[in-house]
Structure 1
């Protein structure tokens, strides 16, 4: 199976066609799209994905949220602001798509979203599950200038037993940083975490960041791609 997590950047804007071309050509089983916006471009994204055989759900957001799409049947298990959870009907697998807000706009909101992620992680650690998306968070090890954002929450997630797929299975030819600031500092903000139960069952083929698409300005984030089998 193949999973792609991508921040659309303000819903895609004029880049929507190139984003859709990219996603269709990748032919992934699962898509987690952050900064999804339910506007004209959002409708185009949903209509195109439906034509390509995807079913989808979106988070409970009036502005920027998250869309999760799958080529496999699923049921909805969680819908909140910036969070969308599904369970694949033909697989014993849950997926939580996240788009964590930036603290610069609303620190309390960001902290609240993080607490819901940690609660979900605790409740689902003993079943096969993936938590993935744009976390807008990093430790100093994944920051070009050694600054960190919500590192304590990332540590709690790992302490619960969740596995950072990039750290454990990364493609060594792939760049670490997924987003760069205007002055050129790189940060790894995009993750795919595996529950400890899933990590024992999963054979991960490849985890990589497609930095070329960020450099081409398809988005300001590099897509995270994970290929795996049970």
Structure 2
């Protein structure tokens, strides 16, 4: 099963056609999009995913405020969703679904608030609570966390010690940062400032039973736009494959 996690920037905007083409190239079974909005460009992406066979969809778009950044989860496989609580619910930046598979695979899509949006650390506490409750299940969590480990996941000083400690708490909860586990010494970045400083702030986390079933994971910026040479989003996507037949 191929899964794509991607912050598409501002609902896709003017890059929507390139985004559609790239999603077709990746050909995912599940797509989790961040900065999805209730606007024409995002709706075009959702429709295109349906055309690709990802007909089971849910979003957290607020119909009253369609321009706010929200989430879309689209899948070839049917799923049921679980009600969020707290800041995760209020922000519309958390989706928890269980796929209709023999192993009842849980997927958690997130877009963690940044520290200037007021409730980042409460959001992260709630993520830890969810991880603790799900540690013995088959579960994957992914998205733009606006967080990394200081001095490792950054080219310029930005991440705070408490943000690095969040990764320690994730490990203590029985989950693994899958890309880092597979690339312990590597430095690769998923978002850059206008000044060119890179940060790895998009991650895939997995419970112990699922970490070994991720057969491939990479960050992928996609094919640059032909006319401008620019990437379609300011974030790299997480592209990962999951073994669905493993015991």
Tell me if TM exceeds 0.5. yes
Name which of 126, 132, 146 aligns with 2:136: 126
Tell whether 2:146 aligns with 1:136. yes
Partner of 1:7: 7
Runs of 4+ in 1 over 4 A off after TM superposition: 212-215
More helix by share: 1
Residues 70-109 of structure 1 deviation map (CA, whole Å, 9 limit, x = unaligned): 11111112442200111011242100000112112x23x2
TM-score scaled by structure 1?
0.90
CA RMSD for the aligned pairs? 2.1
CA–CA distance in 2 between the matches of 1:37 and 1:94? 24
TM-fit CA distance, 1:42: 1.9
1:177-228 Cα offsets, whole Å, 9 max, x none, are 00011111110000000012323xx433211111355773210001111112
Gaps of at least 5 residues in structure 1 are none
**For this pair of structures, how many residues does the alignment match?**
225
Question: Aligned runs of 1:88-103 on 2, under 5 Å?
Answer: 88-92=99-103, 93-103=105-115
Q: TM-score, normalised by structure 2?
A: 0.84
Which of 177, 202, 208 is the matching residue for 1:164? 177
Judge conservation of contact 1:139–1:147 (CA < 8 Å) in 2: no
Distance in 1 (alpha carbons) for counterparts of 2:13 and 2:61: 20
- The residue aligned with 2:167 is 154
**Closer/same/farther in 2, CA of residues 196 and 60 from structure 1, 3 Å limit:** farther
Q: Within 2, Cα distance between the matches of 1:127 and 1:60?
A: 28
Could you tell me how far apart the structure 2 residues matched to 1:181 and 1:10 are?
Answer: 16
Asked which structure has the greater CA Rg, the reply is 2
**Partners of 1:162 and 1:193 within 8 A in 2:** yes
**Distance in structure 2 (CA, Å) of the matches to 1:40 and 1:211:** 23
Paired with 1:136 and 1:146, the residues of 2 have a C-alpha distance of 14
